Amino acid sequence: MPGLHRFRSLISLTQSLTAIGPNLQSSFLAIGGTPPYTYRVQPNGAGGSINSSTGLYTAPSVINGGSYGPPTQIYDTIQATDSLSNIATSQILIGNALLLLCDIIQNQMGLANGRVYVWDQKIFQPTDSGLYIAVAIISCKPFSNVNTFNGSNSSSYQWVNNYAQVQIDVISRDTEARDRKEEVLMALASTYSQTQQEANSFLIGRLPPGSQFVNLSNIDGSAIPYRFNISVGMQFIVTKTVNIGSIDSFSTPQIVPNP
């Protein structure tokens, strides 16, 4: 008589948000497999926490890694395990408004990690035929005084509103930059973008009259045959926790280095 076999159902993991700011939350939900499920945050990531039974994830209060730290430290990997030890994993990015803008472009244009990056001082020279998008803040203007909220647990919070001009460069050695540059604007106006802006309390502005893609293809010669840039406005809030009676401690925001 043939033996009886127990077939395992596949398990998958869904999440309400794929990228969030510090201290915010995203819900993870395991599907399939054999309940009950147990959730955990894998070590050596951004440092968030998760409720092991409900799957409610809370981002860390500080973005880890520093300006030149490993990019992996801005991600947490969530693991769900069912009663038969089947496992599913998913990642979530923890970032400031600039990194969340990069996530919106990457998510909506279907680009791999490293194809959308924050740059400073010089543009990365692509060596393959794929599409790259570089994002940078070219000016940032505080438009409010520093505000302070005095808490009841010997700590206070400070925050300041900012308005930044964000430059977006669309780059490729083939024609993708020329042919897909408008998709950047579609990504910023997408439903996913709106969801991320509302969840993370930042705002990407509408393009002002006269906005246009500037063709910079001739600047780099044959190194980058196609390069177009456009600027968008972004409003965001920077916060800091102040420990009353002690020296204030600042944290350096994580910036993704050039690939």
Residue ranges covered by each domain of the chain: 11-94, 97-243
Highest mean pLDDT (candidates 22-26, 190-194, 242-246): 190-194
Which contacts (CB < 8 Å, 24+ apart) does range 4-13 have? 8/33, 8/34, 8/84, 8/86, 9/33, 9/34, 9/86, 10/86, 11/37, 11/80, 11/82, 11/86, 11/87, 11/88, 12/88, 13/78, 13/80, 13/88, 13/89, 13/90
pLDDT computed for residue 220 by the predictor: 76
Please tell me the distance from the alpha carbon of residue 76 to that of residue 94, in angstroms, as a whole number: 8
pLDDT computed for residue 255 by the predictor: 43
Fold classified for 11-94: Immunoglobulin-like (2.60.40)
**Average of per-residue pLDDT across 152-166:** 76
Structure tokens at 50: 């998760």
Q: Please say if the pLDDT value at position 100 is more than 60.
A: yes
Q: Please say if the pLDDT value at position 246 is more than 70.
A: no
Structure tokens at 41: 């945050």
pLDDT computed for residue 129 by the predictor: 86
pLDDT band per the 50, 70, 90 thresholds, residue 35: very high
Strands (DSSP E) found in 151-202: 155-172
Is residue 235 helix, strand or coil? strand
pLDDT computed for residue 80 by the predictor: 97
The residue with greater pLDDT, 108 or 249, is 108
- The reply to whether CATH 3.30.2000 applies to domain 97-243 is yes
pLDDT band per the 50, 70, 90 thresholds, residue 34: very high
pLDDT band per the 50, 70, 90 thresholds, residue 144: confident
pLDDT computed for residue 164 by the predictor: 95
pLDDT computed for residue 224 by the predictor: 80
Please tell me the distance from the alpha carbon of residue 37 to that of residue 53, in angstroms, as a whole number: 7
pTM summary value: 0.77
Mean pLDDT, the chain, integer: 83
pLDDT computed for residue 66 by the predictor: 41
Provide the greatest CA pair distance for the chain. 80
Q: Please say if the pLDDT value at position 249 is more than 70.
A: no
